[in-house]
Amino acid sequence: MVVFPHCKINLGLHVISKREDGYHTIETCFYPVPRTDILEIIPAKEFSFTSSGAIIPGKEEDNLCIKAYHLLKAQFNLDPVKIHLHKVIPTGAGLGGGSSDAAFALRLLNSVFDLKLNGQQLRGYASQLGSDCSFFIEDKPMLGSGRGEQLADLSLSLKGLYLVIVKPDIHVSTAEAYAGVKPQVPHQTLAEVLSQPIVEWKHLLFNDFEKSVFAKYPAIEAIKNELYDQGAIYASMSGSGSAVFGIFLLQTERLHQFNGMHYWADYLN
Catalytic residue list: 8, 132
Work out whether the CA dihedral 28, 201, 235, 186 comes out positive or negative.
negative
Yes or no: say if 15 and 178 are a contact pair by the CB < 8 Å rule. Answer: yes
C-alpha span between 85 and 105 (Å, rounded) = 10
Q: Give me the residues paired with residue 36 across strands.
A: 6
Which residues are within 8 A (CB) of 46 and not within 5 positions of it... i.e. 6 or more apart?
A: 80
C-alpha span between 85 and 77 (Å, rounded) = 23
C-alpha span between 226 and 249 (Å, rounded) = 16
Yes or no: say if 131 and 219 are a contact pair by the CB < 8 Å rule. Answer: no
The length of the chain is 269
The DSSP string of 96-155 is -HHHHHHHHHHHHHHHHTT----HHHHHHHHHTT-TTGGGGGSSS-EEEETTTTEEEE--
C-alpha span between 243 and 37 (Å, rounded) = 17
Task: Please report, for residues 111, 134, 135, 137, the alpha-carbon distance to residue 119 in angstroms, rounded to integers and kept in the order given.
Answer: 12, 9, 11, 7
| φ and ψ of 164, to 5 deg | -120, 130
